[in-house]
Structure 1
């Protein structure tokens, strides 16, 4: 398991005096990787039942799109005349959108890590610690959500129907078009190693860049950095739905997860500021 290598690496870094400080500061990131990979040992569907149909129909009731053409009707998993957005985009997609969808999704983890490294290397250690621990906290909240409510992503309903099949492998869904377009098998490799297929709610894809954008604003980074992060964030939200990896409901709950995580992380400072201004 990848988590074992992370634990060994962390132990080695902590044992050596010259790298001990680095290990201490990057502890939240090591813990994130260890916890995420360890979920393979005890999947969330061993704790609670997997929801496939209810989430699909909730999405349809809130954001359903009328199906009219034969291609649209064939794409509907429950054989009605109403499509979820993921089904609509499965039929209606284009190369330009497919390309940018892949680019946005590739930014999911690398950009937050790059931002953290920037804060660390420029010795903005207060902001680095706050962002890093907030990142871990948002993940923990999201992981708890996975176990409370195991839920299948849209691509599962579209490919397998509404019966939960345990040990289902990961699926690239609409992102496979990016792999085909570029000749690279990036997403096939990533989703083939997915630690948890039935973990659509909340969408942590929606959370990471939102969190990064929030801390870029809070730490008063240059306007073009904030704009870039915000564009990537919006692009990931759109891609999550466009690619069939998440429902709009998942994305909204991922946004809520981020807000809760930031409020918890910054609660003392928020409370102190409120008391000062009262």
Structure 2
């Protein structure tokens, strides 16, 4: 096994490269020393300030006993401080902020929460697509289709983030896992915030209750996943979705957002396999509507949210991939995308095209125009043999004429001026 790993991933490692090395120390003093020498930028202050406020809000509002909350946050702080664990857990801070807000959402006071919309999503679905696609797909069900729909929605969705993270860590450039945690966490965090601000009933609610008003005292439903519990004789999905922390969180679909984010990162590292990742997203889209958990407009909103956050992460956080490189240990450097240099109006001072042209020709032309407009002055002409500055084409090859003409050119040139042709 060790020889296979050596041949596959470490064979082309640059000599002396330490980019892919991991921190193995368990001494918290190293992290404290780095923190003292760290100078936060305005972007870092906004980033950590926002996530810290979410974590603090969840700490205060969550109904769990204070002793458990203190122990949990103390353990999390310890994992941040230890260098060997902090390199993974600290970069996953957006994910922890999302999870803390998600599991706290069920404890929000209903009197302060927005009313639950039941009719908006099916109305938008009909306006945009002409009919309710979820109702159409869920009309005809059978056991084989249930199994095919269950795989991406009930199995792959929960395990895919860890599999994607492991593959990106091994096969992607160094620091790409940090970017994945940033994008994945913020996408889910913004999604949960939207679900709390705009609570909407999923398709299964319309099937069970019609368009009657919903309230926060209602329980959730597993939808089509209830049939999976019946097939296997379990109560996993029925219990989980009935007591979900965000029952009326149809819009946007975080199932769609997670699948899209995973497909975007895999396509970024393995561009040749992009059709396979697109197929997976479409497969999950179909399964969510077939199992009556989301409308198609929910799926589109989740994918758009995921795409926007990925694009920001790509241009400001992700390292550039190298063609033909499939191991983090093969990279000799970590180049990043410079969004400003892609601007066609961007100009660097070192670029010769941005150096101002000499005003020598401009001054000469302006002076010539002024002299031509002055009736009392005679403008020199190259065709005027009496002009002291006239030089015939044949005389240009004469050394004497060149020597006579050089002082005149020197005297008319302005000091400290250069010409760039």
TM tier relative to shorter chain:
0.7 to 0.9
1:144-223, aligned counterparts within 5 Å?
144-162=193-211, 163-219=213-269, 221=270, 223=272
Distance (Å, rounded) in 2 between the aligned partners of 1:156 and 1:8: 40
Under a length normalisation based on structure 2, what TM-score does the superposition of the two structures give?
0.55
Identify the match of residue 53 of structure 1 among 103, 107, 119: 119
Under a length normalisation based on structure 1, what TM-score does the superposition of the two structures give?
0.80
Distance (Å, rounded) in 2 between the aligned partners of 1:46 and 1:227: 45
Q: Which secondary structure does the structure 2 equivalent of 1:274 belong to?
A: coil
> C-alpha deviations, 1:224-276, integer Å up to 9, x for none?
5x555333222111111111100111111111111221123234347246237
C-alpha root-mean-square deviation of aligned residues, in Å?
Answer: 2.9
Greater CA radius of gyration, 1 or 2? Answer: 2
> C-alpha deviations, 1:123-176, integer Å up to 9, x for none?
844211111101112112212322332211111122122211222212100121
User: Which has the bigger relative contact order, CA under 8 A and spacing at least 6?
Assistant: 1
1:4-15, aligned counterparts within 5 Å?
4=69, 7-15=73-81
1:14-53, aligned counterparts within 5 Å?
14-42=80-108, 46-53=112-119
In structure 1, the residue matched to 2:147 is 99
Distance (Å, rounded) in 1 between the aligned partners of 2:169 and 2:74: 22
In structure 2, the residue matched to 1:244 is 292
Change (3 A) 1:200 1:265: same
Which ranges in structure 2 are unaligned for 5 or more consecutive residues?
A: 1-63, 317-336, 347-421
Alignment: residue pair count: 258
Distance (Å, rounded) in 2 between the aligned partners of 1:104 and 1:249: 19
Q: Which secondary structure does the structure 1 equivalent of 2:183 belong to?
A: helix
Identify the match of residue 310 of structure 2 among 243, 249, 262: 262
Q: Which secondary structure does the structure 1 equivalent of 2:260 belong to?
A: helix
Larger deviation, residues 202-211 vs 112-121: 112-121
> C-alpha deviations, 1:170-202, integer Å up to 9, x for none?
210012122222334332233133111111111
In structure 2, the residue matched to 1:88 is 136
In structure 2, the residue matched to 1:275 is 343
Identify the match of residue 127 of structure 1 among 170, 176, 183: 176
Whether the 8 Å contact between 1:10 and 1:30 is mirrored in structure 2 is no
Whether the 8 Å contact between 1:207 and 1:254 is mirrored in structure 2 is yes
Distance (Å, rounded) in 2 between the aligned partners of 1:8 and 1:115: 28
Q: CA deviation at 1:15?
A: 4.6
> C-alpha deviations, 1:39-90, integer Å up to 9, x for none?
223278833221101222222333355xxxxxxxxxxxxxxxxxx2333333
Distance (Å, rounded) in 1 between the aligned partners of 2:339 and 2:223: 44
More helix by share: 1
Change (3 A) 1:90 1:46: farther
1:230 maps to 2:296: no
Change (3 A) 1:124 1:30: farther
Change (3 A) 1:113 1:270: farther
Distance (Å, rounded) in 2 between the aligned partners of 1:8 and 1:183: 40
In structure 1, the residue matched to 2:160 is 111
Larger deviation, residues 158-167 vs 129-138: 158-167
